[in-house]
Amino acid sequence: MTTAATQSRSSVRPLAGRVAVVTGASSGIGEATARLLAEQGAHVALLARRAERLTGHVARIEAAGGRALAVPADVADPASLTAAAERIRERIGRVDLVVNNAGLALPDLLGRGAESNWQRMIEVNVSGALSVVTTFTPDLIEAAADGGHADLVNVSSAAAQTVLPGFAGYAATKAAVSHFSRNLRAELSPHHVRVTTIEPGAIDTELRDHLGDPAISAAVEEAVGSLGDLPTGTDVAEVIAFAASRPRHVNLSLLSVLPTLEA
C-alpha cells in the first residue's frame, strides 16, 4: 500500500485499532460517541444500565460495519463496574480510550427533594466517575507504556464554571469532575496518558426529559428555547473523537461545546 493510500485510510478511520469504553452509552452524548468512535475504527464497549438500549445500538453499529459490545452495568455500583471491565478485557482486549460520560442532572431546590437528588448525583456523577477512572487507569497506563495512545475523556458540563439556579448539586458535581480531571492530568501525564475534559453547555439530548419536576422542566425548556438551535450529541462526539485522534504528544485538555447563543 502506498504512503498516500495509508494516510487516506488513516484520515477516514483515525481510531483504527483502538479499544474504547463509553459509559452512559444508552442515549445522548454517550450513544453518539460510541457510534462515531466505531465509525472511525475503534472497537467500542457500550456501558450503561439500560441493556435493551445497548443491544439496539450495538446492532446498528455492527450493521454499519463497526465493532461493538453491549455491557450492561451501573457506574455507581463498583462490583458491577469491575465485572463489566473483566468482560470487556476478555471479549475485546485492553482498553486505551475511556469516555467517562455517565451522569445525572436533577433539580435540587431546597425543600423539594434536594437531599435525595444531591445524594444520587454524587453517587453517579462523582463517585461513579472515580470508579470508572480507578477501574480502567491501569489499562491506560499499560497501553501508553507500550507506546500507544491512551486517553481518558471526562464529560463534565459548562455548569462547572457558572451559577445554575435550581441545579446547585448538579453544578457542584460537575465542578468536582472538572477539577478532578485537572488533578488527574497532573498525575497521569508523566505516564503519557492524556486527560481531556469536555464541558458541554445546553445540548439537544434526553437528559432534560428526566428532571421530574414539571415547573422546573418548563423553566428549563423556556431557557433552552431562547438559545435557538442546540448542538447535538453527535456534535459533542465529534469533539471527543477529534481529541482522541490527535498525535500522541498532543493533549487537548479542556474543550467547551456550547450553542452559539449561549453566553
Supply the residues annotated as catalytic.
Answer: 170
Around Cβ 10, how many Cβ atoms within 10 Å?
A: 13
Alpha-carbon separation of residue 26 from 56, 66, 188, 261 (angstroms):
9, 17, 28, 28
The amino acid at residue 186 is A
Nearest to 21 by CA among 37, 1, 32, 39: 37
Torsional sign, CA 172, 139, 75, 79: negative
Helix (H, G, I), strand (E, B) or coil at 231: coil
Query: Among 20, 26, 32, which residue's Cα sits nearest to residue 245?
Result: 20
